[in-house]
Amino acid sequence: MPDLERATLPLDLTLDLTVDGVTLTAALCDVPSVSGDEKPLADAVEVALRTLPHLEVLRDGDAIVARTHLGRAERVLLAGHLDTVPIAGNLPTRLEGGATEGVLHGRGTVDMKGGVAVQLRIAATVPEPSRDLTFVFYDHEEVDAARNGLGRLARNHPDWIAADFAVLLEPTSALVEGGCNGTIRVEVTTRGVAAHSARAWMGHNAIHDAGRVLARLQAYAPREVAVDGLVYRESLNAVTVHGGIANNVIPDRCVVGVNYRFAPDRSLVEAESHLRELFDGFEVEVVDGSDGARPGLDQPAAAAFLVAIGGEPRPKYGWTDVARFSALGVPAVNFGPGDALLAHADDERCPAQDILRCEQALRRWLTA
Amino acid sequence: MPDLERATLPLDLTLDLTVDGVTLTAALCDVPSVSGDEKPLADAVEVALRTLPHLEVLRDGDAIVARTHLGRAERVLLAGHLDTVPIAGNLPTRLEGGATEGVLHGRGTVDMKGGVAVQLRIAATVPEPSRDLTFVFYDHEEVDAARNGLGRLARNHPDWIAADFAVLLEPTSALVEGGCNGTIRVEVTTRGVAAHSARAWMGHNAIHDAGRVLARLQAYAPREVAVDGLVYRESLNAVTVHGGIANNVIPDRCVVGVNYRFAPDRSLVEAESHLRELFDGFEVEVVDGSDGARPGLDQPAAAAFLVAIGGEPRPKYGWTDVARFSALGVPAVNFGPGDALLAHADDERCPAQDILRCEQALRRWLTA
């Protein structure tokens, strides 16, 4: 499907960064860039950025980095990914209503070419920002973490993405969402002894034992933790349970899959210890996990950002690439156009106002 | 496979009922009769029985019934099925050791052509039994209950199988096992509200609720109930549990499969009520179930049987066709050669002594 879509593109694809953000979002969406097929769009972004004399432009694969060198006291990073999930008959884009009050429909409008358009508009229109700027456009965000373009940049060129504060333009309905909870998944296994269910006393029921695991989960009181001024709410849940092999056999094994979303005051290692303590006496195996991210709202750049944006920041509960920045020592927030609940949806759509307001807010902050 | 095996049979298949029970068992086993392919063996059994002038011989499909009409005060029924589970390279039979002290290996030796051989030997050698006798040889026992030949006889010709007491020659290592527990299977379902696991408070966890179902199972004290002098031990177990659809979704449904093996003082309807009471507050659906069978050891024929056989009778925990007789108002016990744990095994094998002892015990009882 991506190849088919690409075949319909003009060969001399150019991006005009002087148009308004909504028109630019539509132009970006109409260059399909499903994960793995980012090259045409990355090429176009690179060519457009190279026309801007105040920016140094760098490239690694299909990730593009552009930055100012103005000797400012702080450096701020604006990041967004170029790829989308597969197209679901929702391209080309379609604007319903006016160019400022309407809604732009189509794959990528929310996740996250609206944010990329805002990045490009700031790059083109703020040549002398109050803070040095680094723009990052990266590939492979919508696939497994090992291929993530931001992770590749962090490995290959950590200096390219060094900064004091980062804004990830993932959709937040143009509100500031700070940091994110971490996540860890473990499997808690109980083991018994198989027997015919007509002679249950010959065996030991592993599913019955799993009831004690579930009882601990049900009795658990999740924390609410203030971190850098935002209150993170934790969750601890059984997300799967599987046991038993036949209707007449006492089950000898039951596995409860548990997901713990933990506040960013706690590391992944601490989260694992917490679960091992909670499930003391049971077999616990870690399946996967990721550290969370502190919001970093105590940084000067972040404080100025909040003043410029206005409104109350909210904590981010879902895991996003802000955690990658956090792991690199760069505090980060999410701030971008579109409702995150519409990301990946067939009827993905973004209010024009979200795009325009994000651009205005960032310009206000960076030109103050 | 059955067709291939059948093609190797002699066309003029005859059973010689004057040979010893072990030799006869081998001859019966060497006529493969996997469920659905009983006809050649049923034909041979019918032909052999028709040579016995003291018996009336009846047939329905591949089920053969033979009976005396001596005007005795009681009628006793001896039943066995002709079919086996599929052959696993374990035919023809092979006798290891002597004809009286050895072990006969092969499909059907335990389940249950050893028992069928004993029936045929009694039919051939006890022309004037102390009780009127009905011999039942039936088809389709090893497949789904709807095709069971005994069930068909009960529907088509209930008078053919009327009796005061029945002995089912299923393998019991030549010990008397009386009646059987009933069995019922239910699914206990908990329902919640799905949500992203990063925002668990937006949903309700159905797996956590299932913990309360498991807690009731773990706290449950199964009954031990004396019925007609035998103590039946019950079992109540979760045999399966399944919940959850993804690692980041709060599960909205969890299903616990429960198997209750209940003593024959309780009917299937009563067992269901008991479970609905136990799982009050939860959604309970009956999947399947069968009444158990009282051992009927208080019947005169049964009492005389126990005296003749000697030894202590045991309760049967697994469900067998004795429950069909019980449902027809005929008390029944299991008594046959071979270890039930070797039924269906690739190395299915039966001690010659079991076959000989069963035959002797029944002859002693029926000629006293």
Q: Are the beta carbons of B81 and B139 closer than 8 angstroms?
A: yes
Report the alpha-carbon angle B360-B364-B368, nearest 5. 170
By the CB < 8 Å criterion, does A246 face chain B? yes
Q: What is the dihedral of CA B118, B119, B121, B124, to 10 degrees?
A: 170
Interface contact flag, B319 A215, Cβ < 8 Å: no
The one-letter amino acid at B328: L
Q: What is the pLDDT of residue A221?
A: 96
Q: What is the pLDDT of residue A188?
A: 98
The closest alpha carbon to A185, from A129, A91, A260, A76, belongs to A260
Q: Is the pTM of this model over 0.90?
A: no
Interface contact flag, B211 A218, Cβ < 8 Å: yes
By the CB < 8 Å criterion, does B345 face chain A? no
The closest alpha carbon to B181, from B268, B96, B256, B66, belongs to B268
Q: What is the pLDDT of residue B12?
A: 57
Q: By percentage, how much of chain B surpasses pLDDT 70?
A: 97
Q: What is the pLDDT of residue A246?
A: 83
By the CB < 8 Å criterion, does A205 face chain B? yes
Q: Are the beta carbons of A305 and A333 closer than 8 angstroms?
A: yes
Q: What is the pLDDT of residue A12?
A: 57
Distance CA B153, CA B64 (A): 10
pLDDT in tens, B41-59: 999 999 999 999 999 999 9
pLDDT in tens, A211-248: 999 999 999 999 999 998 889 999 999 999 999 988 88
Q: Is the pLDDT assigned to residue B269 strictly greater than 80?
A: yes
The closest alpha carbon to A167, from A141, A133, A143, belongs to A133
Write out chain A residues lying below 8 Å of B235, CB-based.
197-201
pLDDT in tens, B103-142: 999 999 999 999 999 999 999 999 999 999 999 999 999 8
Q: Is the pLDDT assigned to residue B9 strictly greater than 90?
A: no
Per-residue pLDDT of chain A (368 residues; tens, 9 = 90+): 334 444 444 445 889 999 999 999 999 999 999 999 999 999 999 999 999 999 999 999 999 999 999 999 999 999 999 999 999 899 999 999 988 999 999 999 999 999 999 999 999 999 999 999 999 999 999 888 889 999 999 999 999 999 999 999 999 999 999 888 999 999 999 999 988 888 888 899 999 999 999 999 999 999 999 998 889 999 999 999 999 988 888 999 999 999 999 999 999 999 999 999 999 999 999 998 989 988 878 777 788 888 888 878 988 877 788 888 888 888 888 999 999 888 888 899 999 999 999 999 999 999 98
Q: What is the dihedral of CA A103, A104, A109, A113, to 10 degrees?
A: -110
Q: Are the beta carbons of B64 and B46 closer than 8 angstroms?
A: yes
Q: Is the pLDDT assigned to residue B204 strictly greater than 70?
A: yes
Binned at pLDDT 50, 70 and 90, residue B5 comes out as very low
Distance CA B68, CA B366 (A): 13
Q: Which of B3-12, B271-280, B338-347 has the highest mean pLDDT?
A: B271-280
Binned at pLDDT 50, 70 and 90, residue B3 comes out as very low
Q: What is the pLDDT of residue A8?
A: 46
Write out chain B residues lying below 8 Å of A245, CB-based.
240
Q: What is the pLDDT of residue A9?
A: 47
Write out chain A residues lying below 8 Å of B314, CB-based.
none
By the CB < 8 Å criterion, does A198 face chain B? yes
